[in-house]
Amino acid sequence: MVDGEERRAHIADAVLRLAAKGGLHAVSLRAVAAESGLNIGSVRHYFDSQHELMRFAMRTTIDRTTARLVERREQTGSLSELPPGEVVGQLTDFLSELLPLDERRRTEVTVLVEFLLAARADPGLDDLAREAVQGTVTLARRILDAQARSGRFEPKDPEVEAPRLAALLDGLAFRAVLQPELTSPEECVAVLRAHLAEFVRPAGDTQV
């Protein structure tokens, strides 16, 4: 007996591989069937429409990214005992989960960019697009707030710093997806680290 959830995830994987390679244009029911090794009837059995398949694949992409972040967060543990330099390193590693630094993340980020752009002309994907775009700024705000409370970071204007960090992350991801030779993984990490390091309260400062 085939587990329905597992089969759906298997089909979503095929969608993501096709979209990462050739864009969403390349994702037809026929291509998904071929890529997943199923016949079109089976794909239709699990997804009533192309639209449902697209939503499921976009939902899967967002959920996998979130799951990676949660897992990484749990591995890291508390940062409150670390010196500021190490906090910057840990946060750089953590937020690098959103950057296309290896094959897995490259596929996910690429597909997410494709979906986000497709959602401009497809109101049926707008709630997921909002969730993804809002998600980055919410994550940035949480991290900056937590570090500000601990007295390690000193963001000048918290209202501006969260969208600024979100824009930097999305810009790095976008540039690295579009032109990997111009924006290498090493450069992405160096830029992110430099950005986070600027929040660190100067060494001489007394904490209030």
Question: Candidates 1-9, 34-42, 79-87, 177-185 — which segment interacts with its own copies by CB under 8 A?
Answer: 177-185
With contacts defined by CB under 8 A, how many residues of the chain interact with its own copies?
A: 45
Q: Is 177 in the site for its own copies (CB under 8 A)?
A: yes
Closer residue to its own copies (CB): 9 or 178: 178
Question: Candidates 5-13, 52-60, 69-77, 155-163 — which segment interacts with its own copies by CB under 8 A?
Answer: 155-163
Q: How far apart are CA 167 and CA 172, in angstroms?
A: 8
- Chosen residue from 175, 185, 200, 201 binding its own copies by CB under 8 A: 175
Nearest to 46 by CA among 2, 106, 112: 2
Nearest to 21 by CA among 98, 148, 110, 104: 110
Q: How far apart are CA 158 and CA 174, in angstroms?
A: 24
Q: Is 142 in the site for its own copies (CB under 8 A)?
A: no
For residue 72, how many other CB atoms are within 10 A of its CB? Answer: 15
Question: Candidates 4-12, 74-82, 141-149, 167-175 — which segment interacts with its own copies by CB under 8 A?
Answer: 167-175
Site string for its own copies, 7-46 (x = CB under 8 A): --------------xxx-xx--------------------
Burial (Cβ within 10 Å: 0-12, 13-18, ≥19) of residue 196: buried
Dihedral angle sign, alpha carbons of residues 132, 23, 117, 29: negative
- Chosen residue from 73, 158, 163, 205 binding its own copies by CB under 8 A: 163
Q: Is 89 in the site for its own copies (CB under 8 A)?
A: no
Is the CB of residue 186 less than 8 Å from the CB of residue 99?
Answer: no
Is the CB of residue 119 less than 8 Å from the CB of residue 132?
Answer: no
Question: Candidates 42-50, 55-63, 145-153, 190-198 — which segment interacts with its own copies by CB under 8 A?
Answer: 190-198
Instruction: Please give the backbone phi and psi of residue 72, each rounded to the nearest 5 degrees, phi first.
Output: -60, -40
Residues in contact with its own copies by CB under 8 A are 21-23, 25-26, 110, 113-114, 116-121, 129-130, 133-134, 137, 156-157, 160-161, 163-164, 166-172, 174-175, 177-179, 182-183, 187, 190-191, 194-195, 198
